Structure 1
Amino acid sequence: MLKKTRKTTLAAALLAGGLLTTVSAQAATITVAVAANFTKAAEEIGAAWEETSGHDVRFSFGPSGKLLAQIQNGAPFDAYFSADTGRPEILVKSGDARDSFVYAQGKLALYSMNLPVDEQAEEILATGEFRHMASANPKAAPYGLAAQQVLEKRDLYQRYREDGKIATGESITQTFQFVTTGNAQLGFVALSQLRDPESPVKDKGHVWMPPVEDYDPIEQGAAALTRSERPEVVDDFLAFVHSDQGAAIIKKYGYNAP
């Protein structure tokens, strides 16, 4: 489902200066497919870009794999922000996208509202004394693959699967919901979800950051799609993501910015 960011106030300011007609003629709306983990950061970036550019951006959030499939089936997106670099490269090689780039590096976190994973993560994982652990689908969500790698390094993944302890979310968003609603006692989520200022669990619960060497770097790639009828507007949006203002927002939500 498309989600619209808040309306720009730039037009109102220009109206006072008699420039509204020019801006309206040039204004455009682009649609960007964005990996679910980047939802809040994308919304804030989009709102800031709208303010400075006079253009509008609509977002479609979901699992990276599902969004890729929609693009390959002709979905009218102008750009694609994945949670990995492999999927944008697939589009570049097929001619559906221009050169891809890394816009953020994500961080995996193990979160629980009640279990003291911040102090006893290794012990809790080893004993398996919980009903369910949430994790995103590793075939569709890079954060799910990272979680699988963390568990495999401890020889726990297959054991938990056979015991029915892993509650698999279609996306990292659904995985986060499993944990925050209590359907899972703990779960591997994106650090950005815990940094969301509007999150109901911000500054609550317990968090453990797995060693970064325990999983492949979650480098998140983006690309402008060749089907876009507004390439210059897309390029302006991507340039804003690369800007100091865009990088500051990306870091605010717990990512590393290139």
Structure 2
Amino acid sequence: MPDVIVASARSLPLLLAIASLLTPGARAEEVSVAVAANFTAPMQEIARLFEQDTGHRAVLSFGATGKFYAQIAQGAPFGILLAADDRTPERIGREGLGDPQTRFTYAIGQLALWSRQPGYVDAEGRVLARNDWQHLAIANPKLAPYGQAAMETLARMGLTDQVQGRVVQGENIAQAYQFVASGNAELGFVALSQVMQGGQLRAGSAWIVPADMHRPIRQDAIVLKGAQANPAAVALMQYLRGERARAVIRAYGYAF
């Protein structure tokens, strides 16, 4: 019996070391993620699930894709970019600011014309041609792909000149949404994800803009320079492809 006790005592440090490796979260890392403003709500939910399921942590920053590109080019310490388009991640890979082998489309966005007033927006967007509203909010088309899609939609409808004097621009899609939500604009082109959850419109009225009215809003992710070996970055890119994350993305009105 004494021999057994001595053997167990000697092996205790090894057993503790093995146990520490197997303990969830013991080797957890974190990654800083630049997230397109339209993807705020779903990514907050995904980040919570990601930490719960893997132990890794995603530290999120939200904003306009164009602004993030400028920050990344200046050396901002992000590990992953979740863009609102596919061109910016492609450019980042081409310029050596990220790993082009990691780029993939994590979602395809949908544009919506939204009012916080129920029944105000009709099913075909004809409200845009009326003169009983004062302000139409859009995201800055030079910085935000959803703003560019909004301008393409107006051009397709032949309404660019008619509404130009009533357009108010937000720096990003989140600000455009706030203009409408606060009542400072009667109408706004927003991301469907901002006004939809669980397959249902949360408030007001909306027209989901047909996909052929503008170029596809392919939203790509890419791992940025220096983060390729970060376990949290690798794990998050895998997680975004998984069914649990995709269920959240679908619930907010995105496609793949």
Q: Secondary structure at the match of 1:228?
A: coil
- The alignment's TM-score, normalised by the length of structure 1, stands at 0.85
More off after superposition, 237-246 vs 203-212: 203-212
Contact in 1 for aligned 2:29/2:230 (Cα 8 Å):
no
Flag the structure with larger Rg.
2
Equivalent residue in structure 2 for 1:118, among 114, 122, 132: 122
Residue aligning to 1:231: 230
Q: Does structure 1 residue 169 correspond to structure 2 residue 166?
A: no
Q: Does structure 1 residue 249 correspond to structure 2 residue 248?
A: yes
Residue aligning to 2:89: 88
Q: Secondary structure at the match of 1:118?
A: coil
Equivalent residue in structure 1 for 2:159, among 156, 160, 163: 156
Return the offset for 1:204.
2.1
Q: Does structure 1 residue 207 correspond to structure 2 residue 210?
A: no
How far, CA to CA, are the matches of 1:256 and 1:229 in structure 2? 27
Contact in 1 for aligned 2:135/2:167 (Cα 8 Å):
yes
Q: Does structure 1 residue 131 correspond to structure 2 residue 134?
A: yes
Q: Secondary structure at the match of 1:117?
A: coil
Q: Does structure 1 residue 240 correspond to structure 2 residue 239?
A: yes
Task: Kindly provide the amino acid, as one letter, of the partner of residue 66 in structure 1.
Answer: K
Structure 1's 231 and 160: CA in aligned 2 closer, same or farther, altered over 3 A?
same
Q: Secondary structure at the match of 2:78?
A: coil
Contact in 2 for aligned 1:83/1:141 (Cα 8 Å):
yes
Task: Kindly provide the amino acid, as one letter, of the partner of residue 207 in structure 1.
Answer: A
Task: Kindly provide the amino acid, as one letter, of the partner of residue 80 in structure 2.
Answer: A
Task: Kindly provide the amino acid, as one letter, of the partner of residue 206 in structure 1.
Answer: S
Structure 1's 21 and 240: CA in aligned 2 closer, same or farther, altered over 3 A?
closer
Return the offset for 1:253.
0.9
Q: Does structure 1 residue 106 correspond to structure 2 residue 109?
A: yes
How far, CA to CA, are the matches of 1:85 and 1:75 in structure 2? 20
Report percent identity of matched pairs. 39
Return the offset for 1:239.
0.3
Q: Secondary structure at the match of 2:40?
A: helix
Gapped regions of structure 1 (runs ≥ 5)? 1-17
Deviations 1:184-204 (A, max 9, x none): 00110000001247xxx9532
Q: Secondary structure at the match of 1:41?
A: helix
Return the offset for 1:22.
5.1
Contact in 1 for aligned 2:79/2:223 (Cα 8 Å):
yes
Computed over aligned residues only, the root mean square deviation of the Cα atoms, in angstroms, reads 2.1
- The alignment's TM-score, normalised by the length of structure 2, stands at 0.86
More off after superposition, 216-225 vs 112-121: 112-121
Return the offset for 1:20.
8.1
Contact in 2 for aligned 1:30/1:230 (Cα 8 Å):
no
How far, CA to CA, are the matches of 1:96 and 1:55 in structure 2? 24
How far, CA to CA, are the matches of 2:170 and 2:220 in structure 1? 22
Task: Kindly provide the amino acid, as one letter, of the partner of residue 60 in structure 1.
Answer: S
